[in-house]
Structure 1
Amino acid sequence: MACNSSACQSSCYKLGQVEEEEEDLTKATPTTGGGKEALTEINNESKQEILCIKCKTHEPMSVGASGDEGRFCGACFRSNLNGKFRLSVSSHAMITPSDNVLVAFSGGYSSRVALQFVHEMQYRAQKNYDACKDRSLPVFGVGVAFIDEHVGYPKISNQIEKAIEEIKLIVSNLAPPTKELYIVPIERICCSDSMEGRDRLKELLDAVVDTTGKEDLLLHLRMLSLQKVALENGYSRLVLGSCTSRIACHVLASTVKGQGYSLPADIQYVDARWDIPVVLPLHDCLAQELKLLCHLDGLKIVDFHDDLSSGINSLVSSFVKILQQENPSRECTIVRTAGKLTPFHFNKIPEINDSNVPLATRRRQKRFNLMPKESISSESFCPMCYSPLNKSDLTSSIRPADCQSDIFAVACCSSCEFQILPKDPSSMEHFYSLLPQPLIATVKLDKSHNLSLLREKIEDCLLSDCDDED
């Protein structure tokens, strides 16, 4: 029994007071069962809070998921990610029934998901074609291209044979329609002979002192190789697995390297400056989402463990990863901000005039793929990286050129001139002789082209025919 003395050094009297208050509270509470009902309602609300935000039925993912993807269940997460892909494809007329699509496959998470989604799209089209009596809608073709770059990255030489076997297995395991696989060594862009091409490419890369410039040169050669495969085999679209995370890194890296003018050309959904238009159907997907989807669906990837980059691109990638860890919306913010830049006129698929293409497809293209009024028109491109050139840079670069190598150097953008071209003018002729023919062919070497640029520069100072007669 608790004492009533306030002088007691123990707290027994306080404990007694608490027990009496609890007893009085229990007597005052009605025993009608309302407490159990209230507790049940609270439990139901708690269960609703941990359900998938879309289907409200299944529990959301928790393993390896964070951010918005952790609020979906597995099925709804996959449906949401595939919806982003299909919206990009349909809104920008990336793939039509008459197309032949080449998927660039590197073995990573992004290209693996791009291949899977394109395959599922083709599989559904094939089922609809088989079920249709008149079979009016053809099924677009799909091919897969892997560019072997181990010559530029010696560290992965011991992994490349195993990687190629895994890639062949991945493509062969896809359900029909069958897909042609192209394994293309990157040195083939320099020469059709493998040994001679390998030696020329090694010598070309050794001539580039800057680490970032060497990485960018390999990136340009990879795109040329993909374009060559697509052209030689009759493909009309080139699908890249570039996602929001990759584009965010490219935005910052290009800004650091002084490529601000040409930046809008690389970050759009469509890039038709090439002979074969390049499309980015995973433009709105995060790398973390694509990695999680591969984990959920058990999609096999080919992982090169060694870090292949050590220049500006790698530093920017590490920086963006840190930003993303602090705030999961950072990558989306970077891409959304860069998306406000004015696009170029080639950042859309050319209008479809093929009568075999359904009218609905042509109307969709006309609706979603209109040319923005503020688009920039650029007909001149850097022969090295094929980035659009500013007119002021083009006219300021007109200077006497003694040989073709000098003309090539003058035609390059400032970024390639600083990072890739040799600093010593005497080495330029040898460097030019090592370049692949597709790079050299992009330069207009005729004098009339240079004279037209010069005339445009001094047009205000020229007298017209009327003034000459006066």
Structure 2
Amino acid sequence: MACNSTGGACGSDGGGGGCYKDNAGDENRKPSTNMITTCLKCKATQATVFTGGDGGGRFCPECFRSNLYGKFKLAVTSNALISPTDKILVAFSGGPSSRVALQFVSEMQLKAQNNFNATANRDRSLPVFGVGVAFIDESEINSVTSSNLDKAIEDIKAIVSTLPPPTKELHVVPIRNIFSTKTNDGKEMLKNLMSAVDDVTGKDDLLTHLRMLCLQKIAIENGYTKLVLGSCTSRIACHVLAATVKGQGYSLAADIQYADARWEVPVVLPLRDCPLQELNILCNLDSLKIVEIFNESRAGINGLISSFVKILQEENPSRECTIVRTAGKLTPFPFNRIPEVDVDDANMASQRRQKKFNLRPIESLPPESFCPICNSPMSCNSNLEPMREHFRAACCSSCQYQILPEEPSSMEEFYSFLPESLIARAKNGNQKWIREKIQDCLLLDDEDES
């Protein structure tokens, strides 16, 4: 509230009325304590939860929880992230973000189940989407004692078993499984690959890419149709700045949208609008158990950016939201939409999103080429098949600088350590681009070759 220091009408309302000075004459008088501590949402209960950021304010516990769940549900419904026919896999790391994501997805599934049970005519009811949970065991990379790992896995099993019905299947999979063959358990291959990367930022990024490959493998082998990540506003804000510093500006828009269908199993981010501070508060309020077995601290550029954003957030609680909102103005890629399904509500949400971002139909757009390592879209399509001699040229500039060795002999060795799934995906993606590129020059079966 601003007042005219020279006297006269209060500058805040333009007309003298409503200023707290008018009735008291004490310029230092503040609004009453009741006004300050009342919940902004219900305006009836004392506020005990205080948050920062764009959606910040003061809430009572019930309204705070309702507000946070509302952000999650709005993201899901507005962007058609989950449909009744889906089988959802929730990536669970044990931290507060993935814990809240699992809790909210479970609650949404329970409500869908209750609606299904309450429907008189079962034949006309929509099915209830399924939910599974995936935990990636990274003990080969992170130094963790076997006893601590066993205890963490038992805690995760207990968390999943206590979720409301329907029952959720838990997948505990070592990250080395992406290297596994009939004659090799993948442990040595994983160790060799990580050792071949000298740059600390490159190691951190490569681990992130391998984790995604492992989650995709779990989802594909078990018939899941969507992969839910617990990426929140705080994590995405760090990614925005880190990607910019590492030269990933072109592909940045691909990673920060609510949906990402460039993967075989589409990835969705329903907590995109939820800051980490609020997720931590909810875990404390609802006693949601956190299982932090692996070190979540980032290394190299990623670690520096995380520390920088933390300082910014302490100075101004809106900084993380501002970063994500600003980056959100970037135009999404065609694959940043969920493929249409037969459910009318999901189709309508998809059409609204397409209109909002002025996205053209996928058929009218040229195909993208993707980096074989990080799967980032590239600004120019490569016409080189990513075999050993051309693999570097097929990668994005960030992976070339941060991950790939410079010496040809070291590059040869690095290539030999890559998982077959990564190499196969790179070859298939490049061959698909070549086929689409020459499609106009191909003859159809019913055309005269003469």
TM range (shorter): 0.7 to 0.9
- Structure 1 position 303, deviation (Å): 1.9
- The reply on whether 1:384 has 2:384 as its aligned counterpart is no
Which of residues 208, 211, 219 in structure 2 aligns to 1:222?
211
1:282 paired to 2:271: yes
Alpha carbons of 1:406 and 1:157: their partners in 2 closer, same or farther (altered >3 Å)?
farther
- The alignment status of 1:439 with 2:422, answered yes or no, reads yes
1:47 is aligned with what amino acid? N
Give the structure 2 partner of residue 75 of structure 1. 62
1:100 to 87, 109, 114: 87
Query: 5 Å matches for 1:425-464?
Result: 425-444=408-427
1:414 paired with 2:397, answer yes
Q: Secondary structure at the match of 1:144?
A: strand
Q: Is 2:149 the counterpart of 1:160?
A: yes
Instruction: Select which of 110, 124, 140 maps to 2:97.
Output: 110
Match of 1:122 among 97, 103, 109: 109
Deviations 1:278-323 (Å, cap 9, x if unpaired)?
A: 0000010000000000000110011247454321111100100000
Q: Is the 8 A contact 2:334 2:359 kept in 1?
A: no
Q: Is the 8 A contact 1:237 1:277 kept in 2?
A: yes
Give the AA of the match of 1:60. A
Q: Are 1:220 and 1:385, in contact at CA under 8 Å, matched by a contact in 2?
A: yes
CA distance in 1, matches of 2:332, 2:113: 35
Q: 1:176 to 1:445 in 2, by over 3 A?
A: closer
Residue 60 of structure 1 corresponds to 47
Alignment of 1:223-242 (within 5 A): 223-242=212-231
Choose the corresponding residue for 1:199, options 183, 188, 197.
188
Q: CA deviation at 1:339?
A: 1.0
**Which stretch has the larger CA shift, 67-76 or 132-141?**
67-76
Q: Deviations over 1:26-72 (max 9, x none)?
A: xxxxxxxxxxxx9xxx999542332101101111115x755665511
2:130 paired residue among 118, 121, 141: 141
After superposition, the C-alpha distances for 1:110-158 in whole angstroms (9 at most, x for unaligned) are: 0000000000000011111111122211100000001111212225766
Q: Percent identity?
A: 58
Q: What letter is aligned with 2:137?
A: D
The amino acid that maps onto 2:74 is L
2:319 and 2:430 map into 1 onto residues whose CA distance is 48
**Counterparts of residues 339-418 of structure 1 (less than 5 Å):** 339-352=328-341, 354=342, 357=343, 359-370=344-355, 372-373=357-358, 378-391=367-380, 394=382, 404-418=387-401
Residue 179 (structure 1) aligns with: 168
* Residue 227 of structure 2 corresponds to residue 244 of structure 1: no
Count residues with an aligned counterpart: 407
Distance 1:434 1:307 in 2: 25
What's the CA shift for 1:210? 0.5
- 2:92 maps to a residue whose letter is F
If the length of structure 2 is used for normalisation, what is the TM-score?
A: 0.83
Aligned partners of 1:406 and 1:428 also within 8 Å: no
Report the Cα distance in structure 1 between the residues aligned to 2:359 and 2:249, rounded to whole angstroms: 17
Whole-angstrom CA distance in 2 between matches of 1:330 and 1:447: 39
Aligned counterparts, 1:267-346, within 5 A: 267-304=256-293, 306=295, 308-346=297-335
Which runs of 5 or more residues in structure 1 are unaligned?
1-37, 457-470
1:90 aligned counterpart, secondary structure: helix
What is the Cα-based RMSD across aligned positions, in Å?
2.9
Opposite residue 82 of structure 2, the aligned amino acid is: I
* Kept after mapping to 1: 8 A contact 2:370/2:377: yes
Residue identity opposite 1:428 in structure 2 = M
User: C-alpha distance in 2, partners of 1:300/1:342?
Assistant: 38
- Verify the 8 A CA contact 1:211 1:310 in the aligned structure 2: yes
Aligned in 2, Cα 1:55/1:205: closer, same or farther, shift over 3 Å? same
Task: Please say which of residues 177-186 and 160-169 is displaced more in the overlay.
Answer: 160-169
SS of 1:302's equivalent in the other structure is coil
Deviates more, 1:404-413 or 1:64-73: 64-73
The one-letter amino acid paired with 1:327 is N
Whole-Å separation in 2 of the counterparts to 1:221 and 1:262: 18
Closer/same/farther in 2, CA of residues 225 and 275 from structure 1, 3 Å limit = same
Give 5+ residue unaligned stretches, structure 2: 1-23, 440-450
In structure 1, what residue type is equivalent to 2:190? Answer: L
- The alpha-carbon deviation at position 164 of structure 1 amounts to 1.1
Counterpart CA distance in 2 for 1:306 and 1:404 is 35
Q: Measure, in 2, the Cα distance between the counterparts of 1:428 and 1:314.
A: 26
Query: What does residue 459 of structure 1 align with?
Result: none
Indicate conservation of the 8 Å contact 1:404/1:445, yes or no. Answer: no
Deviation at residue 372 of structure 1 after TM alignment: 3.2
CA distance in 2, matches of 1:215, 1:256: 15
Cα gap change, 1:426 to 1:454, in 2 (>3 Å): farther
Say whether the 8 Å CA contact 2:109–2:129 is kept in structure 1.
yes
* Cα deviations by residue, 1:367-393 (Å, 9 ceiling, x for unpaired): 3344733678542100010000111x7
Q: Work out the CA distance in 2 between the residues paired with 1:244 and 1:150.
A: 27
162-171 or 180-189, which deviates more: 162-171
CA 99–415 in structure 1, closer or farther in 2 if over 3 Å, else same: same
C-alpha distance in 2 between matches for 1:51 and 1:304 = 39
Indicate conservation of the 8 Å contact 1:156/1:306, yes or no.
no
**2:261, 2:337 within 8 Å by CA — same for their partners in 1?**
yes
Q: Deviations over 1:168-194 (max 9, x none)?
A: 110011121000000010000011469
Counting only pairs closer than 5 Å after superposition, residues 35-50 of structure 1 correspond to structure 2 as 46-50=33-37
**8 A contact 1:345–1:377 mirrored in 2:** no
Aligned residues of 1:54 and 1:76 also touching (Cα < 8 A): yes
Q: Distance in 2 between matches of 1:221 and 1:116?
A: 26
2-structure distance, mates of 1:410, 1:226 = 27
Cα displacement (A) at 1:239: 0.4
CA contact (8 A) 2:233 2:274 kept: yes
Whole-Å separation in 2 of the counterparts to 1:213 and 1:61: 43
TM-score, structure 1 length as denominator? 0.80
Give the CA deviation at 1:343: 1.2
